[in-house]
Amino acid sequence: MESHRLLLGVIVFGVILFTLFFSKPTITGFVPAETFSQDLDMDVSESQRFVLSSEPPLKLSSLSLSGKVNGAGLVNIYLSDGVVERLVFTNKRRQGSAMDQITGMASLDIFPGEKLNKIESLPAGYVAVPGSFNNECRETCVLDPTLFHSPSLYMDVVVEPGTSVYISGLRFSVFGN
């Protein structure tokens, strides 16, 4: 009986050692990042680009927004470098879906840029849902630092006529040094 226990122990140890040796496990690294919140008081009733700037330029690792949509039209908000854009918020929901979406010292200077001659429409089977949103980050919850190729970043707010969006605040993280 004792020899069976010893043999079983050696086999279990061998399987664990074999698995560790051949699966080549890696240690997940910690990426230092700092998170900041900033209050905004922006009411946007037509499509517009806002310039995001800071001194020195920040390398964003995430961006989320909070606010409220007024009206029944579609609102999409994008983070863009002028070429690449990532969706931060949309009030578009699949029709009949009961499931809702999952979702300091540094500061961003945000000032109005050019008006956007852009209107987006809802695809079939979707509805625009008015109401509040909190810390939304559809495609900007985790950003790759090599994603944006320009030192300038923009927040493009695309609003369907007859609808407005109030942006109460933003939350962002930057890569540490």
Alpha carbons 30 and 129: distance in angstroms, whole number: 38
Which residues, listed in sequence order, are joined to residue 65 by a DSSP beta bridge? 136, 170
Is the separation of the CB atoms in 168 and 39 below 8 Å? yes
CATH of domain 33-175: 2.60.120
d(CA 135, CA 63): 8
Give the pLDDT confidence of 135-157 residue by residue, as tens digits.
999 999 888 877 776 777 899 99
What does pTM read for this prediction? 0.73
60-112 pLDDT, tens digit each: 889 999 999 999 999 999 999 888 889 999 999 888 765 444 444 455 666 67
Worst-scoring range by mean pLDDT, 22-26, 72-76, 92-96, 165-169? 22-26
Residues 6 or more apart whose Cβ sits within 8 Å of residue 118: 47, 156, 158
| Predicted local confidence at residue 133, as pLDDT | 94
- pLDDT digit string, tens, across residues 119-139: 788 888 889 999 999 999 999
Q: How many CA atoms lie within 13 A of 137 on its CB side?
A: 15
Q: What amino acid is encoded at 37 in this protein?
A: S
162 closest CA partner among 71, 69, 64: 71
Ordered by start, the domain boundaries in the chain are 33-175
Query: In whole angstroms, how large is the CA radius of gyration of the chain?
Result: 23
Residue 167: pLDDT over 60: yes
| pLDDT at site 29 | 55
